[in-house]
Amino acid sequence: MNEVFRVLRPGGVLYAVTPAYPVPEAFQDPTHVNIITERTHLYFAGDQPMARMYGYIGNFDVRRAHWARHKDALVYAAPPSALWAVRQWNYRRKGAFTHFVWDLTCVK
């Protein structure tokens, strides 16, 4: 997050979509070092971000933070050719909320 903060200009927007706990997909990628929850974004936002104790130097304001179904979360990023697969995956999940969406504004 320090690097995201460094490269964004003031007012720049971070839009992130990630599988989040307790959804099993949050654990499937072996490269995930930290598990995301519906409160993780709070470590990086506000007057005194909680991540300061870990060396975090940035700051963001929360525009939106919410749960989304897989198809809703990826509709902006998925190419048209992939939308069928996304819809099928979501159908098998019975439309459950699976991803958490962060929409944060960089404050410098």
- pLDDT 10s digits, 1-42: 999 999 999 999 999 988 888 777 777 777 777 888 889 999
For the chain, what is the domain count?
A: 1
pTM: 0.71
pLDDT value of position 104:
96
Q: Which of 9 and 92 is assigned the larger pLDDT?
A: 9
- pLDDT 10s digits, 34-81: 888 889 999 999 989 999 999 999 999 999 998 887 655 554 444 556
* Range of the structural domain that residue 50 is part of: 2-106
Q: Is 18 helix (H, G, I), strand (E, B) or coil?
A: strand
- How far apart CA 20 and CA 41 sit, in angstroms, is 12
Those residues with Cβ within 8 angstroms of residue 15's Cβ, 6 or more apart along the chain or in another chain: 76, 101, 102, 103
Nearest to 56 by CA among 46, 70, 69: 46
Nearest to 74 by CA among 3, 33, 32, 15: 15
